[in-house]
Chain A
């Protein structure tokens, strides 16, 4: 398998080969590059620094009190003023940062330990243990942390241990639950199967395969838990079950100022502000960490009807994806757009349809029937979508609204654009269903009750119900098995031809392209690198990118070449579409003589 296919099959399995975490230095550097990441790192660094310094020095002694100087305003002597007994507020907050740091660190450790233990239990091969641990987690997770803290406070009294154990336990349960999907995925992956078959012990399998896969999730959750731990400390100390009074902590500073709020309202300002800032920093730290470790958090695509796309440039969040694409699909033509994963094919389709995310910048020209689409407001684009342009998506299993029945889904474009009675709509929908080969009794069913091929027929019916002039099919067969693929492609082609519409067929698979299109563009890294008649490209690709794609198609499938005729003979018997597909098939198997 070449690289692009390896990547897409791994993606299809949903498992990223573990152990490929980016190195810590790289992660920190990329966190630093963002404003929010920088803020988080600086704040947390300061926190640690101040805590260390407080061990040896604070501006005033903590135990120094002065009955004559209570509730003083900030001054050179007392940087943040004094509290109700004349002690220095700043010094107490400094010392408190030490306590909170220790509490947070211990809580995170306890949470990680419990979380990993539970993950190990959930992914173990002993079914009783695996199921039992899931049940246990579900049962215990609904118990609020503060209740656990209150219960622990009875034997232990108000103490740091109460906070650490109560919060650590709660967060550990939460960690296990959040990490469960990726852990289960990793546990069932090929890598683990083969490792076990090789005789690796359960512990080794866990450490080398499962842990790295859940680590990113766990790390982010830990930093969010750290923020919650600080808040919990404040609340629990206030309730009297947290840090004992007499030990400096932020919760202590916050709680003492509560009692005197009537006298000096501004005393609540400093501790509350400090806690808020630190918790914000911890949350931003978690977010920045997650983004730095996995830069592919956003996937966007752009796509480009009797449509002429000229010099289309698209950038997502300032990252350029398309660099001046030019392509045309004239009325009645079937044009393909092929390229490896990540080349930007889907981007073009979304650009044409106006489905780009709000963060995208688009420039250039997209003309649909002479009308300029770039710069058109969403309301006007919506009027065109589903009426002038139809789209068939790659994954009907998730694109189809699971709440709508087949009948209502196919009727949706009609309902949005035309004034028809319910009976008229139903008649058109049923006619369409017959055309795409869907049994009539599926009218009232929901998508999850249909097979993949049937779902995609629903998708095609939905796209074609309003007889649009341009149909964009974005990898419509990639999610289907190869037998169904052929049927769907043939169906789509016949319907498009019958309607005289234009088709833009997007795929990474050259073999499917040969069946569906006569002309195609090859896209690589946001640029068109080659174009020409599909069959000519198949026979003689010029650019290395095209050669790679064609080579892959040849090795994997039987569509291309002389076995084609045998295939089509078999397909004629099994194709469900009413219109004949022989003409289409014969045309694509002869070389280069037909009218373009």
Chain B
């Protein structure tokens, strides 16, 4: 296990490095140069030059990269152009919205998707099976934007049929009034949860079917378990490593939905912040934010892999 841990962490570090280089270069492979774009195409040349000097954009690429990485290591993510605030604190405030949203959405998705996936494997009549399949397919085909809109139309205050939940915005004082903060996240989280839940339902179903094909479920039944018990106690437990991987994958898919949903529900989270910064051409902030987001997903991937390994004793034997 230790050897695997060491190797996986090395892989993580390598991936982190590659991502940082990719993000760094992507923002500099620009027609025209970074300073011009940031200052605006109609800016006087003195302003552009001043900006270039201020941000150190006239130094060689390697030096710029080094300075950036050194800054990251110290927690200095640069300052935003618009407000002059340090990027780190701005992102910190935004993260308090986005991360709970993601976690809540994922929980809803799991609560919806796993039982539905199990039920669809146990379904007896062709009609029941067709129904479950329809739910999974339609759930995965709905655009996040539309789903959010439908939910707003149903439950949002101001426009909805049943106006019980806030349809936009997040309380100014954040989580210090937890009730209102939570209420603001409900509709967005349900939107995310329903769409991701459809994915999880499909993945649960296919993981259970592949476990069933090994014969372990049959053997448990042969020992005397009912089909239902064998599926839930043995099948789900054995399918868990696969499901953990899947959760890791859906996390990455979720971010697209989350960005759209943050925009739709006017939540000032990381996603909408990124889009705003891009629109305002605050590319230094974008550089660090992009890197942070990507790093977040790499961390998730690392945790997922380690959990997967811990859950499946068969993987302990071979050298990955």
Contact = CB atoms under 8 A, between A and B. Distances in A.
Given A238-B263, A261-B149, A393 B27 contact: no
B225 interface: yes
A155 B29 contact: yes
Interface string A392-407: 0111001111110000
A271 to B, nearest CB: 8
A399 B143 contact: no
A358 interface: yes
A412 B223 contact: yes
Contacts of A492: none
A146 B252 CA distance: 10
Interface in A344-363: 350, 353-355, 358-359
- For the complex of A and B, list the 3 residue pairs with the smallest distance between their C-beta atoms, beginning with the closest: A386-B224, A272-B146, A139-B15
B10 to A, nearest CB: 10
Interface stretch (A106-114, A193-201, A212-220, A273-281): A273-281
Interface size range on B against A: 35 or more
A144 B218 contact: no
26 contacts: A142-B252, A143-B19, A143-B252, A144-B255, A155-B29, A238-B260, A261-B153, A262-B158, A262-B159, A268-B149, A268-B150, A268-B153, A271-B146, A276-B138, A283-B141, A317-B126, A355-B221, A358-B122, A359-B126, A385-B222, A385-B224, A389-B222, A393-B219, A402-B312, A412-B224, A462-B223
A91 interface: no
B99 to A, nearest CB: 15
Contacts of A142: 15, 252, 294, 297-298, 300-301
B197 to A, nearest CB: 15
A138 interface: yes
Contacts, number: 226
A283 B133 CA distance: 11
Interface of A: 135-136, 138-147, 150-155, 227, 231-232, 234-235, 238-241, 254-255, 258, 261-262, 265, 268, 271-272, 275-277, 279-280, 283-284, 299, 317, 350, 353-355, 358-359, 378-379, 381-383, 385-387, 389-391, 393-395, 398-403, 412-413, 416-417, 446, 448-449, 459, 462-463
A354 B223 CA distance: 12
Interface in B229-286: 229, 234, 237-238, 252-253, 255-257, 259-260, 263-264, 274-275, 278-279, 283, 286
B290 A147 contact: yes
Nearest to B148: A258
Contact residues of A: prevailing secondary structure? helix
Contacts of B274: 150
A138 B149 CA distance: 35
A143 B294 contact: yes
B83 interface: no
A400 B228 contact: no
Which one of A227, A258, A417 has the highest number of Cβ atoms from chain B below 10 Å of its Cβ?
A258
Which one of B15, B145, B152, B256 has the highest number of Cβ atoms from chain A below 10 Å of its Cβ?
B145
A255 B220 contact: no
Interface in B203-224: 213-216, 218-224
Contact of B313 (A154, A390, A402, A463): A402
B117 to A, nearest CB: 15
Which one of B14, B26, B29, B216 has the highest number of Cβ atoms from chain A below 10 Å of its Cβ?
B216
A289 to B, nearest CB: 14
B103 interface: no
B148 to A, nearest CB: 9
A151 B138 CA distance: 31
B11 interface: yes
B19 A239 contact: no
A446 B315 CA distance: 13
Contacts of A153: 278
B224 A417 contact: yes
A235 B257 contact: yes
